[in-house]
Amino acid sequence: METLLSGPVTDRPSGTLHNDTGAIGWGLSWRMHAYLLMAEATGDPGLIRRLARMADSVVAARDHLRGVHEYRGLRLPVWSSAGPYTVATATVPDGTGVDALHVHLCPPHTADAVVEVTPAGDDRFDLTVTRAGGRPPVRLTQLSLDPDDPRRADHVAYREHRPAAPVTVDLPGPTVTSTARPRPGRYPCRPARVALAAQTGMITYPLAGLARLARERPDVVPADVAGRVDDYLAVVHDALAVHDHQWRISAEGDAHYTWLPDEPVSFAGAELPTNEFLAVGRTLVQLAAVTGDRCYVDRAAALAHTLRRQFQPHGDALVWPYWPSFGRVHRGWRRTGDPTADGSRYRPEFHAVPKAEDVTHALIDIDFAVLYHSTPQLPGVFTDADLRALGRTFTRHVHFRRLGLRPTVRHDVSGHGRPGTPRHEAHVAGWLPLARWEPGVRRAVAAVHRHRRAVPVMGVDAYCAALLTRWG
């Protein structure tokens, strides 16, 4: 357990911690949550003090304290990231050094991507976007900057855009002349820096959870930590406020967070996946419990209603989608012919993705449902029957054993998904809190855990180990 709770991120000297590649959002946050779970279970003040030290380092790593700007040039009290999560852009100058083209590549495989400009004769040029990961290059040929040319670069990129070649082009200048030419050469794609709501939720969740523990069980929180709780709450409040402009409630009452149409992320203009907006939802639940603030209560309840509507009965279990069923990615969209009307600056069209939630990302959905249902300060949404059916999703749909083989798990919650990987098996403990309503979960988790295959340690493994210690 100690090995899982520690790690390279937690051991960095003060002042060097950052979230540039998501190491806090998708790594350290899980370890912090593991410390919180163990502290709740044991009341060990040593665990609480270690969690507080980690929290202090994370608080100090916010962008505005590090002098870091996100893509709009703003310094915000959050932990932005780039790299594998955001659109990468190459800036191509003309012969005078003025920006002539912005070439955008959607993730994944944007690391070390390069745009090459080569002359193509008759005042035209070719663009070749080379990607990492062995992906084939994207080629756009016989392009022009002439606004009246049918091969104008941004128009060709728009017409030829497809999910397997997610490249768009902007002409950034106020005017483009027929004599403008891009300078031949190779230009690196640089990822945009964006504050991602899901990561903000992941990072603030254990901070808000520590504040709740201090308020509800003051006898187990050392005075030196309790004295910092109001500061942690202020940090959480400020961080969530950064994403207020992304909060939405549809006409049908579906609450969620969304990416803006011009936000440099892969699915600009679309709703966040269910697990990602619930990552923020868990923090909202903790804030509602600690402060009683009506905004936090209402938003947490709205997200709970959204998740419950996503749950669909399947026998005596439940299924639900990875992308919310009311959203653009779940349904897909087609280009309109007018880039300003497509709803996404970086993806003119995308095919429907109605896939079921996978068993790893489901851990956040499960934790939200259990946390919400176990918080008496909130309006009732889920029932004990809902949580029992959610537990049976694991025993009926996820856990299975093929004849003569060891017990394992499926990839998703549908009940007919492909077999999961060793990584999926490593996370089965995330379903253990549901054993309170469906006892068979504990037996099924134990069966898989005994026969699991070894995988490299990740932050989420600390969370799963804490759950095994607490519920196993």
Alpha-helix residue ranges (DSSP H) falling in 161-250: 197-216, 223-226, 229-241
The answer to whether position 83 is within a domain reads no
Percent of the chain at pLDDT > 90 equals: 87
One domain, residues 152 and 207? no
First to last CA, the chain: 14
Q: How confident is the model at residue 346, as a pLDDT?
A: 96
**Cα–Cα distance for residue pair 125/189, rounded to 1 Å:** 19
For all residues of the chain together, what is the average pLDDT? 94
pLDDT tier at 13 (50, 70, 90 boundaries)? very low
**In this predicted model, which residue has the larger pLDDT, 71 or 109?**
71
One domain, residues 170 and 238? no
pLDDT digits (tens, 9 = 90+) for 290-331: 999 999 999 999 999 999 999 999 999 999 999 999 999 999
Q: Beta 138-143 vs 317-319: how paired, if at all?
A: unpaired
Tell which residue, 124, 22, 138, 129, has the closest CA to residue 81. Answer: 22
Asked if 21 and 81 touch (Cβ cutoff 8 Å), the reply is yes
The answer to whether position 108 is within a domain reads yes
Helix or strand or coil: residue 130?
Answer: strand
pTM of the model: 0.95
Mean per-residue pLDDT, 19-31: 97
One domain, residues 411 and 283? yes
10 Å CB burial of residue 35 (0-12, 13-18, 19+) is buried
- Beta bridge partners, 89, equal 104, 190
| Number of neighbours of residue 244 by Cβ within 10 angstroms | 10
**In this predicted model, which residue has the larger pLDDT, 452 or 12?**
452
pLDDT digits (tens, 9 = 90+) for 37-76: 999 999 999 999 999 999 999 999 999 999 999 999 999 9
One domain, residues 184 and 218? no
**In this predicted model, which residue has the larger pLDDT, 403 or 285?**
285
pLDDT digits (tens, 9 = 90+) for 236-281: 999 999 999 999 999 999 999 999 999 999 999 999 999 999 999 9
10 Å CB burial of residue 443 (0-12, 13-18, 19+) is exposed
One domain, residues 300 and 398? yes
- Beta bridge partners, 86, equal 265
Mean per-residue pLDDT, 216-230: 97
Q: Has residue 360 got a pLDDT over 50?
A: yes
Number of domains in the chain: 2
pLDDT digits (tens, 9 = 90+) for 172-196: 866 556 567 999 999 999 999 999 9
How far is residue 22 from each of residues 84, 251, 297, 398, measured CA to CA in Å? Answer: 9, 33, 28, 28
Q: How confident is the model at residue 109, as a pLDDT?
A: 86
Helix or strand or coil: residue 432?
Answer: helix
Domain end: 136, 164, 191, which one?
A: 191
pLDDT tier at 1 (50, 70, 90 boundaries)? low
Q: How confident is the model at residue 174, as a pLDDT?
A: 62
One domain, residues 363 and 293? yes
Q: Has residue 11 got a pLDDT over 50?
A: no
Q: Which of 172-176, 222-226, 359-363 has the lowest mean pLDDT?
A: 172-176
The answer to whether position 95 is within a domain reads yes
Structure tokens at 148: 């009246």
**Cα–Cα distance for residue pair 386/370, rounded to 1 Å:** 10
Domain of 157, CATH number, reads: 2.60.40
Q: How confident is the model at residue 180, as a pLDDT?
A: 79
Q: What is the residue range of 179's domain?
A: 88-191
Asked if 356 and 279 touch (Cβ cutoff 8 Å), the reply is no
- Beta bridge partners, 262, equal none
**Cα–Cα distance for residue pair 158/148, rounded to 1 Å:** 16
pLDDT tier at 134 (50, 70, 90 boundaries)? confident
One domain, residues 200 and 187? no
Q: Beta 114-121 vs 99-105: how paired, if at all?
A: unpaired
One domain, residues 138 and 216? no
**Cα–Cα distance for residue pair 189/103, rounded to 1 Å:** 8
The answer to whether position 334 is within a domain reads yes
One domain, residues 145 and 292? no
Q: Return the ∠ at Cα 393 (arms to 457 and 395), rounded to 5°.
A: 75
pLDDT digits (tens, 9 = 90+) for 397-433: 999 987 678 999 999 999 999 999 999 999 999 999 9
One domain, residues 295 and 203? yes
One domain, residues 426 and 300? yes
